[in-house]
Amino acid sequence: MPFAAALRKSLQDRDSEVPAEFKRGDSLEDVLNRHLRTVEEMGGDDVFTCILLLSPDGKRLSVGAAPSIPASYCRAGDSFEIGLSHGSCAAAAYLGRPVYSVDIETDPIWADFRDVALQHGFRSCWSTPIRNSNGAIIGTFAILHRTEGMPTHEEVESIELITDYVADAIMWSRGPRFFARSDRYQSGAPGLKLVSNNQEARDPTARLVALVEKLHAQATDLDHYAERSQSETESQNLREAAELSRELATNIMTLAAVVRSEKPAR
For residue range 27-41, list pLDDT tens digits in order: 999 999 999 999 998
Mean pLDDT of 147-156: 87
Mean pLDDT of 79-98: 93
Whole-number Å distance between alpha carbons of 82 and 138: 12
**How confident is the prediction for the chain on average, in pLDDT?**
80
Q: Give the pLDDT confidence score for residue 76 in this predicted structure.
A: 63
Q: Give the pLDDT confidence score for residue 130 in this predicted structure.
A: 96
What is the number of alpha carbons within 13 Å of residue 177 lying toward its C-beta? 0
Whole-number Å distance between alpha carbons of 55 and 198: 26
Q: Give the pLDDT confidence score for residue 211 in this predicted structure.
A: 72
The residues near 37 (Cβ < 8 Å, ≥ 6 apart) are 67, 68
Instruction: Quickly state the pLDDT bin for 142 (edges 50, 70, 90).
Output: very high
Strand order through the sheet with 137-145: 79-81, 60-65, 48-54, 137-145, 124-131, 99-101
For 177, counting Cβ atoms within 10 Å of its Cβ (0-12 exposed, 13-18 middle, 19+ buried), the class is exposed
Whole-number Å distance between alpha carbons of 106 and 104: 6
Q: Which helix (H) or strand (E) covers residue 62, if one does?
A: strand 60-65
Q: Give the pLDDT confidence score for residue 176 in this predicted structure.
A: 62
Q: How far is CA 23 from CA 17, 168, 187, in A?
A: 10, 15, 29
Whether 254 has a pLDDT exceeding 70, the answer reads: no
Between 56-70, 86-100, 167-181, the lowest mean confidence (pLDDT) is in 167-181
Mean pLDDT of 203-210: 64
In 3D, which of 125, 219, 132, 212 has the Cα closest to residue 169?
A: 132
Q: Give the pLDDT confidence score for residue 229 in this predicted structure.
A: 67
CB 66 within 8 A of CB 53: no
In this structure, are strands 79-81 and 60-65 parallel, antiparallel, or unpaired? antiparallel
Mean pLDDT of 236-248: 79
Q: Give the pLDDT confidence score for residue 238 in this predicted structure.
A: 79
Q: Give the pLDDT confidence score for residue 40 in this predicted structure.
A: 92
CB 125 within 8 A of CB 87: yes
CB 167 within 8 A of CB 192: no
Whole-number Å distance between alpha carbons of 17 and 263: 49
Whether 61 has a pLDDT exceeding 70, the answer reads: yes
